[in-house]
Structure 1
Amino acid sequence: MTRANDMRALEGAKRLQRLRRLTGQAIGDYRMIEEGDRVMVCLSGGKDSYALLDMLILLRKSAPISFDLIAVNLDQKQPGFPEDLLPAYMSEKDVPFYVIERDTFSTVKRVVPEGKTTCALCSRLRRGTLYGFAEANGVTKIALGHHRDDILETLFLNLFFGSKMKTMPPKLVSNNSRYVVIRPLAYCKESDLVQFAVDQNYPIIPCKLCGSQPNLKRAEIKVMISDWEKQYPGCVDNLFRGLQNIVPSHLMDKNLNNFDGPSPEEILRYRSDNPLSIDASGIQEALAEAELNPGAPMPREESQLIQVSSCGRNGQKSQEYRKESREAKKNGA
């Protein structure tokens, strides 16, 4: 039993260091927190917001910059909400804690038809309340607990049901620069956060709105991504890395790309000014540039391309290319 406990403690320590490292990396990569920032952690009572608060407390101790932390909970007046739980928990943290009371629960239940998803309206109401508090209290960064899985799931939700290629960015600046939202857990896996919550014995408060909707599309997307990972191990890592390697010119958004031209004359003029050396390496480069099939067999060194004419079915001449070895040509074949 002692050995098993030691192993669990070791795994827990590794998990803590991994989450701390990934959180710090995300903050640095996206310049989320700067000298003099006043960061507001939105504490819901869920596993992610607890972990977010702890990671920021840890990082603040060793950070080369100085920034303030506060924690805020929005009491939405959900039935049975344990009002004393979070204040008691936060009394042991060296972080100022505020509770905002606003009955958004009744509003959501009244407005959203039975059986419909409540998350969209609920999040808008929460966001408006939290943004207002942030402005009134000199907050410069609003920290949310969304993690890597949330980001991927949101991408597919928007693609499948919103016809948009977008997700939750690690750092979002409002159009007028009035608010800045950061997601320091952007690189963290949900599986690590689930187990970390067990390690830390967090007092989890379930949501009676989204938590009571078992058929949410997000849950279906979560299963889909999990199934992909089982069938193709590593594909989820590749999906996430892909979000950091966007090639706008290879997408279809007319607002991002100018699809006008070049004209036939411009194409021919460019080719005339920049002749292509037709050898094996030149062909490989041309194919790669055109993204046709860079892995296609290339002419060998002893071969060259010659152009010949042939007659198509319609009687018109068409062009085809044929390989002829230099050796055969030398022998007059």
Structure 2
Amino acid sequence: MKIQSVLRAIRNADRDFGLIEDGDHIAVALSGGKDSMLLFVALGMYQKFKGKNFELCGIHVDVGFEEFEHELMKQFAQQYGLNLYIEKTRIYEILQNEKNLHNGKIQCSLCSTLKKGVLFEKAKDLGCNKIALGHHGDDAVETLFLNMIHGSKIATFLPIQYMSRMDMYMIRPLVYMKESEIVGVTAENDIPSVRRVCPNDGYTQRQEMKELLDVLYEKYPMAHDNFITSLSNTKQVSLWNKEKQKNGQ
């Protein structure tokens, strides 16, 4: 799959949700995984589109896991002429503290909160007004099902979201892409990803949901596209409304 397909998906998401405006200074949250590495490159190319006038940089929050391949990320950024900032932290040390462990495992939610705090602070220091995340359509569907199962709410993340406390927008330019498409593009275009070193990798609720949905898609292939399309199909949302039903509406 050609990288042009990614640029089309970004352009469509930008058109539909108003993700990128003239004069924006955008920081890509660069984890080192395939999604964020592809987004970093693609947004660098998207800068060259007619009428697109925005600045771009990448921020990697170094949690402190051993053997993380920083040099690969640095070489990657240099290869594409992209500005990358690596913020070293003691987050892993904090997560390993006995009072922060849950059933002997580090807490994903605490890790995410701490990383987000560092990310936003660095983005602010660099004069950024938006942070771009590498979440794709499959991530959105997984979040929807996780919220219904564990939170009894029908909700997923938004393509663009204003964080009032930090006065910063979060944008997700890859929401129209599937994970399989991203895998294909990164392989065909030799876009690397850093080997995962998180001890929780592969043992999370999200991983369980991913595997459950894969089984569902194998039996009902059309469900994959339909689930992603349904996230913006607001005209056909029909849920129970107790007050309206009591009033005969």
TM-score by length of 1: 0.68
Deviation by residue 1:272-305 (Cα, 9 ceiling, x = unmatched): xxxxxxxxxxxxxxxxxxxxxxxxxxxxxxxxxx
The structure 1 residue matched to 2:42, chosen from 50, 55, 75, is 55
Cα deviation for residue 244 of structure 1 reads 0.7
* 2:213 maps to 1:245: no
Q: Which runs of 5+ in 2 are unaligned?
A: none
Matching of residues 301-320 of structure 1 within 5 Å: none
Q: In structure 2, how many angstroms separate the alpha carbons of the residues matched to 1:63 and 1:107? A: 46
Deviation by residue 1:218-249 (Cα, 9 ceiling, x = unmatched): 12211222222222221121111111123598
Relative to 1, partners in 2 of residues 1:229 and 1:248: Cα closer, same or farther, differing over 3 Å?
Answer: closer
Deviation by residue 1:121-153 (Cα, 9 ceiling, x = unmatched): 111111111111122221011000011111100
The structure 2 residue matched to 1:187, chosen from 173, 176, 191, is 176
Q: In the alignment, which residue of structure 1 is the partner of 2:167?
A: 178
Letter in 1 for 2:218: K
> Quick check: 168-177 or 32-41, which moved more?
168-177
Letter in 2 for 1:98: Y
* Total equivalences in the alignment: 247
Structure with the greater relative contact order (CA < 8 A, sep ≥ 6): 1 or 2?
2
Question: Is the 8 Å Cα contact of residues 13 and 175 (structure 2) preserved in structure 1?
Answer: yes
Q: In structure 2, how many angstroms separate the alpha carbons of the residues matched to 1:207 and 1:181? A: 24
Q: In structure 2, how many angstroms separate the alpha carbons of the residues matched to 1:98 and 1:213? A: 24
Shift >6 Å, 4+ stretches? none
The structure 1 residue matched to 2:128, chosen from 121, 124, 139, is 139
Q: Which runs of 5+ in 1 are unaligned?
A: 1-11, 268-333
Matching of residues 207-222 of structure 1 within 5 Å: 207-209=196-198, 212-222=200-210
Q: In the alignment, which residue of structure 2 is the partner of 1:37?
A: 24
3-state SS of 2:96 partner: helix
Letter in 2 for 1:66: N
Q: In the alignment, which residue of structure 1 is the partner of 2:85?
A: 98
TM-score by length of 2: 0.90
Question: Is the 8 Å Cα contact of residues 143 and 182 (structure 1) preserved in structure 2?
Answer: yes
Deviation by residue 1:48-87 (Cα, 9 ceiling, x = unmatched): 0111011111111113131111111111111112232222
Relative to 1, partners in 2 of residues 1:215 and 1:60: Cα closer, same or farther, differing over 3 Å?
Answer: same
